[in-house]
Structure 1
Amino acid sequence: MQKRTARLHAYLARHRGGLAWGVACVLIANAIVVAQPQVLRFAVDDLYQGVTAQKLGRYALTLFGVALLGGIFKYFMRQVVIGISRRIEYDLRNDLFEHLQRLPASYYQDTRIGEIMARATNDMSAVRMMMGPGIMYFVNTVAVGVASIVLMFAISPRVTFYTLLPLPLVSFSVWFFGERIHRRFESIQAHFARIAAHVQENLSGLRVVRAFALERVQHADFLRLNREYLDRNVALIRTSGAFYPALSFLSGVAALLALFLGGREVIKDRISLGEFVAFTWYLGMLNWPVVALGWVISLWQRGLASWGRIDEILSADASIRTAPNARKPEGRASGEIVIRNLTFTYPGAREPALSNLSLDVPAGSTLAIVGRTGSGKSSLIQLLPRVFDAPRGTVFLDGIDVLDLDLQWLRAQIAYVPQETFLFSATLAENVAFGVDHATAAEIERVGAIAHLSPDVERFPKRWETRVGERGITLSGGQKQRTAIARALLRDSPVLLLDDCLSSVDTHTEHEILHGLEGEMRKRTALIVSHRVSAVRDADEIVVLDHGAVVERGTHDALLTRGGRYAELQRVEQLEEEIEAS
C-alpha cells in the first residue's frame, strides 16, 4: 500500500509548484469568504444603532468588493487545481499506455483486453476526480471548517460547544459509510471491467456469434452481467443515500441548537445581534464542509479504489526489456542465427515446448521449419524477436546472445509475419507502410506485387486507399496474410520470419508468392514455418520438429529419399490435394 501511495505522490510531485499555487488560491478564497460574516456583523451592529443611506451604501460596497475578490480567487483555484488534475491524467494515461506496450505477451494471455480498457477509461476518470476536485474540496472543507469553528468560538464558546456536540456522530458516519462506499465502488469497477471485456469479445467475434446463431445467448449473458452491475450500483446508492441525509440531519440538529442557545444569549445581552448573525452565518458555512466532507470522502474512496486497479497494471513486471549495458551494434545485422541446446518452457506450463534444440542458419540462407500442429514451430520463431525470452546462452544473432542486444535494435533487424495476421483500422497503404517512415507509393506497390496482393487491390474502388476496417475485417484471410507479407518486405530487415503465413491462400497463389519471394530471400536470412511441404521445398535446409525436438533435417530431396516424417507429410498433402481435386 505504501509503495502504491508513493507512486501516486510522484505524479503530484511533478506539479507541486502549480499545486501549491492552487492550494494558496483555495486558502485565500476561503479567507475572503470567512471575512464576509465579520463585515455583516459590524454592519448589523452599526445599523442597529441607526440606519442611514451612507452606512447602507458603505456596507453594500464592502460586501460587493469582498464577494468580487472571493470570486476571482475561486476562479483561479478551479482553473489551477482542475487543470493540474487534467495534466496528471495526461501523464498517467501516457505512462499507462507506454507500460502496456512493454508488457510481455504472457500478460495479455492472462488479462482480458476489455478489463484493461475499463481501467484505462473509467478508473482513470475516478483518479482524476480524486486528484482535482478531491484535493480542492478537501482543502476547502478543512479550511472553511476550521476557520468557522475558531470564529464561532471567539463569539461564544458556550454556544459553540453545544452546537458542535453532533460532531463525533459525523466522524462516526464518515468512518462507517466511507469504508463501505470504498468496498462497493471497488466491486462495481471490477464488474464494469468484466462487462467491457464481454462486449469487446462479442463485437470482435461477431461473425462467430452470428455463425452459431448465439445472439440471444450472448445477449442473455450481457443482461445478466448488466443486471448485476445495476444491483451493485443500487447497493452503493443505498449506502451513499443514507450517508448524505445522515450528515444533513446532524447539521440540522446543530443549527437548531445554535438558534435556540444563540437567541437566548442575545436576549441575555451576552452577545450582540450582529455577533449572533455572524455566528449563524458561520454555522451555515460549516454545514457545507460537513455535507461536502461526505462527497469528498466518496471521491477519495472511489479514486483510491480505481488507483489500486490502475497500479496493478503499472506494477506488472515488464520482464522482456533491454538489459543494462546491452549492446547496440553499428549498422545492420548480417543475419547469422545460431541456436544452441535450447530448451524452452512457457510460463506456467509443465512440459517444455522445445527440447535440446540446436540450429545454425548462415547469413543469407533460408531455413524451413515443418511439423505437425503443436510441434513447437511457432514457439521457435517467437524466441528470436523476444516475444518470449529464451534461456540465456541459447539464441544468438551475429554471434551475440539476443538477451544482450538492445531490444529496439534487435527487433529492427527482424521483419516478422505472425501466424495470426493483425491489421489496423486504416487504409491498405497505411497497413503495408506500418513501421516504415515516408514509404512511397512506388515502394508499396512493389512489395504488393511481390506478395501477389496487387491483383486484388486493382479490383478495390479506392485501390491502396481502401480502408480495411477493424482487424482487416473487410479482407479475406488470404488478403490479410498477403498484406502482412508486403508489410514485412517493405521493412527491408536483414532477417525475415514467416510463421505459416500462407495457410489461407490457395496453392496457385502460394506458388506465385514464393516465386516473387525468391529474389527477396537472397537478400536476407529467412526462417519459414509451414505445414505445407510445397511452401518449403526450395529452402537451403529443412528441419522437421516433433514434440519440440528436431527429428529430421536436410534438403527437400534428401528428406524425401529418407522416407521419414517429412516424406509422410508430403504424402498426406498430396492425398488431400487429390481428394480436393476429385
Structure 2
Amino acid sequence: MKSLFKLRKYFARYKTTIYLGFLFIFLSNITSVYVPLFIRDGIDELRRQISSPALIKYALLIVGVTFISGVFRFLIRQTIIVTSRKIEFDLRNDFWSHLQKLSFKYFQNTKTGDIMAHATNDINAVRNFIGPAVMYSFDTFTLFVFTLALMFSIDVELSLLSLLPFPVLSIFVYYFGKKIHLLFTRIQEHFSVLTAKAQENLNGIRIIKAYVREQSEINHFRNLSYEYFKKNLDKIKVDSLFHPILFLTIGSSIIIIMWFGGMKVINNQLTLGELTAFILYMGYLIWPAIAFGWITNLTQQAAASQKRLNAIFAIEPEIKDSHLTNYNIKSLNGEIEFRNVSFKYREKLPFVLKDINLKIPAGATYAIIGHTGCGKTTLVNLILRFYDVVEGEILIDGHNIKTIPLKVLRNEISFVPQETFLFSDTLKNNIAYGLNGSSEIEVNQRIEEAVKIAHLTPDIESFPQGIETIIGERGITLSGGQKQRTSIARAIAKGGKILILDDCLSAVDTSTEEIILTNLKNFMKGRTSLIISHRISTIKDADQIIVLDNGVIAEQGTHEELVALDGIYARIYQKQLLEKELEEI
C-alpha cells in the first residue's frame, strides 16, 4: 500500500475536480437513501387507507429522488473517472519521459517486453485504483454510513443484530487482500516475461524461419503462456472463495433481520413499512460489502503494479547533466582528445579500452580500424556519452566532456551507427529525424542535399511514392544497402561539427561506396570526422588512421606510413588486396 503514496502529486494536481466528484457522491447517496423511507411511509399509509392520490404521491417522490440521484451519479463519472484518465495520461507520459532519460546501459540490461508490460498492464492497474477504487471507496463508505444511520433511527437493536457477521468479514478481507497482492505481483512479473518473449520472437522472425525453429518457439511460448494461465487460475481460485464469503455475510444479516424483524412486527414493535425499509437498507449494504471486496482487489493489484513502476522511477540516469555542467557552452568546434582513457562495461569484466591517448584536431578526418571486438564502437560511444569513462578523461574543445550539456554535445554530433535503425515512417521523415525546429523549406533543402550525398536519389526515384514511401518497421522494405544509405542521409541532414560513421558502408558495394565517399568529402570539410571500417578502401584517404588491437592503440599514421610499417594494418591491407584480385579472376 505504501507504494501508492507516490500518486499523491497526481491527486494534488486535480484535487478540485476530485473534491467536486466527492461532493456529487455525497449528494447522490444522501438522495438515494430516502427511497426506502418513502416506501416505508407509503406502505404504512396505504395499510391505513388505500387511495390513488397517496399512491401517485409516493410513486412521484420515489421516481423524482431516483432521477436526482442518477444525475449526480452521471456527474460523478464526469469528474472522478475522467480525472483518473487524465492521471493515467500524466503517469504514462512521465513514465515514458523517465525512460527516455535513462542511460543506454539500462536498456542493454532490461528486456523490451518487460518495459512494455510496465507501460501497459501496470499503468492500467494503477488507473483502476485511481478511478473506480477511489470513487467506490468514498461511494461505499458514505452509502454505508447513511444507511446505518437510518437503520439505527428505525431500530437500534435490529441494526446491531444485522452487523454481527461483519467482524468475521473484515478478517477474511485482510487475509484475502494479502493473498491477492502476492498473486497479482507474480502474474505481472510473468506477464513481463511473456511480453518479452513475444517481442523477441517478432523481431527475430527471419532467424526463426531460416533455422526452421517455428515449432520450438511455439512450444516455448505455449509453456510460458500456460504458466501465465496457471498463475491467473491461482488468483481466480482466491477470488472464487472471496465473493461467496461476502454474499454469505450479507445473507446472514438478511436472515437475522427477517427473523427478529418479523417477530417485532408480530408483536407490534415495528411496522410492516419499517421492516420493508430495513430489508431495503440491507440491500443497500450488499453493494458496499461487494464493492469492499472488489476495491480491496483493485487496490492490491494497483499497489503491486505501482511498486514495479516506482522501482523504475527510482532509477537515476547514470549519464546526465550535473553540478559539473557548464551551461555557458552553447556550441562546439570539434577538437577531440582522449587522455589516458580506459573503459570496461562492468566491474568484474576486463577492460575494453586501455590507456587511450589520442588528439583529433577540429576539422580533421580520422579513421579507426582493427579486428572485431577490439573496442572501435566503444570508443565512439564514449564520445557520445552513451557511457562514461572508467579512467582518464575525454575533452572536446578543451572542455571535459562531463561539463558539456548533453543536449549541446549530442546536437553537435551526427552519428551513423553500426546497426542501422529506421522508424516505421516515411523515408522523408526518417532522413529529417534530427532536424528539430527547422522550417519546411530548410528541411527540404537539407534532405535534398543529404539524399544526393548518400547516393539515394536513384532508389527514391524507383519507389512509387518517392521520398514519401513508408519504409515499414525497422525499414523492412529496404535492402541492407538502402538502409545504411538512409542512415547516412539522416546524419548528413542533421549537420553538426562532428561526424561519426561506424562501419556504415558494410552492406554497400565498392562502386557505390566510392561514390558516397567522394560526395562526403565536401560535406566533411570543416567537420571533425571519425570513420570506423573494416575496409581499407573506405579509410585510406583519412588524415590519420588509428589501428586498435585488444583495446590499445597499436599503430597510428597515414595509409602510406602504416603500409610501410608492415604491421597489423599492412597485413589487413595485403589480405584485402588478395581478396580483390581473387574476385577479379
TM-score (norm 1): 0.96
Whole-Å Cα distance in 1 between the matches of residues 522 and 241 of structure 2? 75
Q: How does 1:374-523 map to 2 (within 5 A)?
A: 374-391=373-390, 394-436=393-435, 437=438, 438=440, 439-523=442-526
Whole-Å Cα distance in 2 between the matches of residues 6 and 319 of structure 1? 26
Whole-Å Cα distance in 2 between the matches of residues 138 and 576 of structure 1? 76
2:530 paired with 1:531: no
**2:526 aligned counterpart, secondary structure:** coil
Count, aligned residues: 581
Shift of 1:255: 0.6
**1:218 aligned counterpart, secondary structure:** helix
Q: How does 1:109-508 map to 2 (within 5 A)?
A: 109-324=108-323, 326-329=325-328, 332-391=331-390, 394-436=393-435, 437=438, 438=440, 439-508=442-511
Partner of residue 559, structure 1: 562
Unaligned runs of 5+ in 1: none
Whole-Å Cα distance in 1 between the matches of residues 493 and 156 of structure 2? 82
Contact 1:106 1:347 in 2 (8 A): no
Whole-Å Cα distance in 1 between the matches of residues 460 and 546 of structure 2? 35
**Distance change in 2, residues 1:579/1:216 (3 Å):** farther
Shift of 1:565: 1.4
Shift of 1:357: 0.8
Contact 1:328 1:409 in 2 (8 A): no
Partner of residue 551, structure 2: 548
**Matched letter for residue 115 of structure 1:** D
Partner of residue 65, structure 1: 64
Partner deviation per Cα, 1:8-33 (whole Å, 9 max, x = no partner): 21211111111111111112211111
Shift of 1:575: 3.0
Whole-Å Cα distance in 2 between the matches of residues 575 and 313 of structure 1? 53
Whole-Å Cα distance in 2 between the matches of residues 131 and 475 of structure 1? 45
Contact 1:457 1:464 in 2 (8 A): yes
Shift of 1:221: 1.1
**1:394 aligned counterpart, secondary structure:** strand
Whole-Å Cα distance in 2 between the matches of residues 581 and 348 of structure 1? 48
**Matched letter for residue 449 of structure 1:** K
Partner deviation per Cα, 1:25-61 (whole Å, 9 max, x = no partner): 1122111112222222222223322222222222222
Partner deviation per Cα, 1:502-547 (whole Å, 9 max, x = no partner): 1111222221111111111113111111122221111111111112
Contact 1:392 1:401 in 2 (8 A): no
Shift of 1:416: 0.7
Contact 1:393 1:401 in 2 (8 A): no
**Distance change in 2, residues 1:435/1:23 (3 Å):** same
**2:33 aligned counterpart, secondary structure:** helix
Shift of 1:90: 0.5
Contact 2:324 2:402 in 1 (8 A): no
Q: How does 1:16-27 map to 2 (within 5 A)?
A: 16-27=15-26
Whole-Å Cα distance in 1 between the matches of residues 579 and 138 of structure 2? 76
Partner deviation per Cα, 1:439-496 (whole Å, 9 max, x = no partner): 5444323211211222222222222122111001111111111111111011111111
Contact 2:331 2:408 in 1 (8 A): no
Q: Percent identity?
A: 41
Instruction: Compute the RMSD of aligned alpha carbons.
Output: 1.7
**Matched letter for residue 339 of structure 1:** F
Partner deviation per Cα, 1:121-146 (whole Å, 9 max, x = no partner): 12211111111011111111111122
Whole-Å Cα distance in 1 between the matches of residues 200 and 74 of structure 2? 45
Partner deviation per Cα, 1:75-117 (whole Å, 9 max, x = no partner): 1111111001000000001101111111111111111111111
Contact 1:32 1:66 in 2 (8 A): yes
Contact 1:499 1:528 in 2 (8 A): yes
**Distance change in 2, residues 1:533/1:388 (3 Å):** same
Partner deviation per Cα, 1:281-322 (whole Å, 9 max, x = no partner): 111101111112111111111111122222222222222111
Whole-Å Cα distance in 1 between the matches of residues 78 and 324 of structure 2? 45
Partner deviation per Cα, 1:392-438 (whole Å, 9 max, x = no partner): 86111111112111111111111011111100001111111112133
Shift of 1:329: 4.3
